[in-house]
Amino acid sequence: TIGEVDLDTPLPVPPLAESTVEPDGTRVFSLEPQAGTTEFAPGVASETWGFDGAYLGPTLVAGRGERVRVDVGNRLEVPTTVHWHGMHLPAEMDGGPHQMIAPGDTWSPEWTVDQRAATLWYHPHPHGETEEHVARGLAGLFLVRDDAEGALPLPREYGVDDLPVIVQDAAFTDEGRRETPPQGFAGRLGDELVVNGVRGAYAEVADELVRLRLLNASTARSYAFGWDDGSPIDLIATDGGLLPASVALERVLLSPGERAEVVVRMAPGERRTLQSVMTPAAAGLQPVVAGMNGATDEFDVLELRAADVLDPSPELPERLVELPPIDTDIAVTRTFDLNGFQINGEQMRSDRIDETVTVGTAERWIVSNPSGMPHSFHVHDVQFRVASVDGAPPPPELAGWKDTVYVGPETEYELILRFDDFADPDTPYMYHCHLLWHEDQGMMGQFAVV
């Protein structure tokens, strides 16, 4: 059954992060991880963490080619980190477990944004505690803009026809105080959704064409997003940017950490609801395993309410961007087996570099899951391409730039990754399962680019 909630809370839009510009052109943002309280039910305070308030964080926006710095001042009582998920940047700026920020300290990574327009995000990455820090509320969006995307007639007025949709699951007491969901094999699965920090969200729109930037910021739960009326959902972008053309899907599958941009054409006065209807088949799971992984759960996510008179929007262009061909000049092939909360039979050790990559080369990573349980695979620093899934060409929704893929049981991905710059033998990047409890258990490894 569909999660029984009234979609009756206006969707809050995370504020755009303020920034200043240094004389040398560097754009400077600041984030302050901090504890606070959030009312998920009127008058009932829950303890939460946020990046500039009590929950979630502001949306950072930067253009391709822009130099950025983020001053991260840790106002929590515990150490944390901030990782720029999906961002191509030097390992020292990555915000993984090697860049811990002590309480009271400020960490100021800086880098030049050099990648395609995309919906990226940021979240803590302290080893062993990532699940808890994210679940408490530490997550935010980082949007990259570029000329290719900017030249297309796509909705991009933030909070108006271009809506961030940060989806998390959570559990609540009867009075509406947030509580810790029970522990299962996948991690902790909440039985309710929180979207941009509220339960039961709706958004009023006044444009014909609306773009939703979906982020699965849940720690363990995967979703299969679609429309309540069964009409296809139009996917235009995946983790690392636009697809060559929009793809009409019945459902968009997002495992933790993945993003998708979808567009929808509204009729005047129309109401439609984005739902997640996960099934064992969609998750590639046996029915008994599906239940314990939330793969039989259905939720209402967000209702869109169109005004009676809508601003006209241009037709969606038939072609969006050109994708370069997938690299075929491969320096090294590596295999990654996801099994038993380990990768290749090893648990993460911060003093061991598992893989050493040569800068300026492309590699083939064969990622497989021989277990009966679902996992995912995320790689820091790069956006990769999927060359094949179980030996077949990828479906169109996996044809673009990705940094995280859902890896169901007995699935094998062939990923092609290019490592063009940022050689640093001393500081590794991470790869890991993005089911955060699995990651915390050590289902993570380290690679250095040299």
Total site size for Cu ion, rule CB under 5 A: 6
Total site size for ligand C2O, rule CB under 6 A: 10
Answer for the pair 132, 78: CB distance below 8 angstroms, yes or no: no
User: In the complex with ligand C2O, which residue's Cβ is closer, 319 or 349?
Assistant: 349
Number of residues assigned to the chain: 450
- Give the one residue of 140, 257, 294, 445 binding ligand C2O; rule: CB under 6 A: 257
- Give the one residue of 64, 211, 375, 380 binding ligand C2O; rule: CB under 6 A: 380
Is 430 a binder of ligand C2O (CB under 6 A)? yes
Smallest separation, CB 154 to ligand C2O (Å): 25
Smallest separation, CB 439 to ligand C2O (Å): 7
How, if at all, do strands 67-73 and 27-31 pair?
parallel
Nearest to 86 by CA among 65, 115, 51, 109: 115
- Give the one residue of 27, 64, 88, 125 binding ligand C2O; rule: CB under 6 A: 125
Rounded to 5 degrees, what are φ and ψ at 256?
-55, 130
125 binds, options Cu ion, ligand C2O, none, Cβ within 5 to 8 A by partner type: ligand C2O
User: In the complex with Cu ion, which residue's Cβ is closer, 247 or 367?
Assistant: 367
Is 259 a binder of Cu ion (CB under 5 A)? no
- Give the one residue of 123, 133, 221, 402 binding ligand C2O; rule: CB under 6 A: 123
Smallest separation, CB 35 to Cu ion (Å): 24
Is 380 a binder of Cu ion (CB under 5 A)? yes
Is 166 a binder of Cu ion (CB under 5 A)? no
Is 433 a binder of Cu ion (CB under 5 A)? yes
Binding site for ligand C2O (CB under 6 A): 83, 85, 123, 125, 257, 378, 380, 430, 432, 434
